[in-house]
Structure 1
């Protein structure tokens, strides 16, 4: 594509960062998806943005499926390209968005994995009984993640000023910099206060001052990758065979709330979901949990 195309692409990516508040990581995916499509169109001798038609999009989809690309990956590419052409339409660069006529492939529904309460007890037990700074930090980290259901990326961004211990409420900055308040209970309250008073002050004593709550062994802010590493180590110590993934404690938080009678709208607000449909998946988890419990315990199941 021409320099003009590169200018439009740069303008679109800037729009995503400035107007939509997308992370640099997400923007990189958009760039990759769009550039991959236009490499394909160049091979088809389609060298202008206005040349792309619905049939060209269908041909591209056929190519993706022949390369055994997953439905989730195909859906993401379509979403990226549809957004790009929507931007071009608003800028009066193209008259028609050829991607608006294409339906994304339906994804196979997979229920989110979560920890049972007995497994959570094993994880918490691994954090007890030690006053070493990193052990105290790990206890506060686990308690806060389970108490609030926040994302790992949100957790790494928590600042000391975001915690209100008087009200036991946490200010969370979610996707698109949207803010929400999430309450937390007694155990998280006690663990966080102990961590701040003892372990954090010890870990950051030789580093440049910074406002972030959770820190690594060098006193620097703990990254999402670092949090996942900590959680996986706790899993190993607790002899739990599963590997933890970034949202597993979040899924556990939502599932346990619903299992214990919380209403769906409240869970939606606590999780920071924009649409209720995103939260409804957890009702399927709780139904499956009830079914397995019934089959395991009813004498004539």
Structure 2
């Protein structure tokens, strides 16, 4: 048997044992593709900018709150007016229970609060929660929106993520984080998402590519 044949057989043996080389995870951008494009966000905001029905007002308020706070679905449906308070800086904050059961805080922008109150002006009664279910038939009773209900609402907006998946509540969390990473860096994203470290935020949302065509030209 020739030396060449031995080398080929050894290579085949190694491939049979180890299989094809595995793809390693990228060093950054682990959440790449899970959010929405800038144009999709612009289109969604425009779509809900002139609400008419209660459903429209709720959609506008939900979208605004979700992309400005990046809260999880379970956190969003738990928000109550009684948990609002002012920060020393004058910003409106809300306390909520984050993933893991610990207390956390989010800034509620003036625009967001205005949209939520306009939404509540479309029906009667005082309600504790920010977001409510629609009444069924001729009934007037409402309950606070469930996590599943929120998922169905966001699904109904019928837009796709960068990776061509149907939008869901967490898509807006990824969208907000990606945008904020570009504008303000990993510490801002860490604070927004309540990550334990800015390194985690950087690993998830730093783009693993760079568009040199915006800068390089010999024309």
1:189 Cα offset (Å)? 2.9
TM-score, structure 2 as length reference: 0.70
Match of 1:62 in 2: none
Contact conserved, 1:254 with 1:282, CA < 8 A, in 2? no
| CA pair 108-136 structure 1, distance change in 2 beyond 3 A | same
Match of 1:270 in 2: 192
Match of 1:217 in 2: 134
For residues 1-301 of structure 1, the aligned pairs below 5 Å read 108=25, 110-112=30-32, 113-164=34-85, 167-196=91-120, 198-199=121-122, 201-202=123-124, 205=125, 211-218=128-135, 219-236=142-159, 242-260=165-183, 262-285=184-207, 287-288=208-209, 291=210, 293-295=211-213
Unpaired runs of 5+ residues, structure 1, are 1-105
Separation of aligned partners in 2, 1:248 and 1:154: 15
CA-based RMSD: 2.9
1:281 Cα offset (Å)? 2.4
The alignment covers a number of residue pairs equal to 180
Separation of aligned partners in 2, 1:255 and 1:268: 12
1:295 Cα offset (Å)? 4.4
1:210 Cα offset (Å)? 5.9
3-state SS in 1 of match to 2:52:
coil
3-state SS in 2 of match to 1:267:
helix
Separation of aligned partners in 2, 1:145 and 1:232: 14
| CA pair 296-242 structure 1, distance change in 2 beyond 3 A | farther
Unpaired runs of 5+ residues, structure 2, are 1-22, 136-141
| CA pair 294-234 structure 1, distance change in 2 beyond 3 A | farther
Q: Which has the higher contact order (CA 8 A, sep 6+)?
A: 2
TM-score, structure 1 as length reference: 0.52
1:129 Cα offset (Å)? 1.6
| CA pair 224-297 structure 1, distance change in 2 beyond 3 A | farther
3-state SS in 1 of match to 2:206:
helix
Higher helix share: 1
3-state SS in 2 of match to 1:171:
strand
